Amino acid sequence: LLIHVLTRTYLMLMIVLFCFVTNQSPPNFTQHVSEQSKVTDRTSRRLIRIYQLYSRTSGKHVQVLPNKKINAMAEDGDAHAKLIVETDTFGSRVRIRGAETDLYICMNKRGKLIGKKNGQGRDCIFTEIVLENNYTALKNVRYEGWYMAFTRRGRPRKGSRTRQHQREVHFMKRLPKGHQPTHPSHHRPFDFIHYPFSQRTKRT
């Protein structure tokens, strides 16, 4: 009788434990990624890329000038059009600075693009958004809904007057003129090997 009671008690405990485990919600990985993408990553090694930003409207490239002004009037290969892009998180948030001036592209409270020596603030962080037309939009992190944008003449457009669908906020990443991607020594470029065709021999 004692064994029977202990067995029933054990089974009841197992049922309660099973119900408790099944009622626990699984970890939400998507939410975790979303939350971590909003926080500056100070532990991982930052990825640094070098490229130009071609403006869809002006037909020229974004440049950071020594007087802290930003415009999209640079020709392909201009020194001030060479940009250094640093990742801020493991997501798609980046900081952009001019390679020649060492000034970061930032946005002030009036929505104006300006160059800053210190780019640690959230006003100097942009979220890269790849659009369906393969262009890239850059949304400011501090001022939600405000984008980097330029007019047809290459002048900066106020962030408060920008929307994602507008041509003014569309950019294309391009390598600086004369800058070719390098192949590491242990990664050889892919080559096709052509073998001569041999004639079929008749069966005997």
pLDDT tens for residues 56-95? 999 999 999 999 999 999 999 999 999 999 998 766 899 9
Question: Is the separation of the CB atoms in 186 and 170 below 8 Å?
Answer: no
What single DSSP character describes residue 185?
A: T
Question: Is the separation of the CB atoms in 106 and 119 below 8 Å?
Answer: yes
What single DSSP character describes residue 161?
A: G
pLDDT at res. 167? 97
pLDDT at res. 38? 52
Q: Is the pLDDT of residue 31 over 70?
A: no
Binned at pLDDT 50, 70 and 90, residue 9 comes out as: confident
Phi and psi at residue 153, in whole multiples of 5°?
Answer: -85, 0
What's the mean per-residue pLDDT of the chain? 82
pLDDT tens for residues 154-203? 999 999 999 999 999 999 999 988 776 654 444 444 344 444 444 554 55
pLDDT tens for residues 34-52? 454 455 555 455 789 999 9
Q: Pick 33 or 90 by higher pLDDT.
A: 90
How far is Cα 50 from Cα 100, in angstroms, rounded to an integer? 12
All structural domains of the chain: 48-174 (2.80.10.50)
Structure token pair of residue 117: 């020596």
pLDDT tens for residues 110-134? 999 999 999 999 999 999 999 999 9
Question: Is the separation of the CB atoms in 93 and 125 below 8 Å?
Answer: yes
Q: Is the pLDDT of residue 33 over 50?
A: no
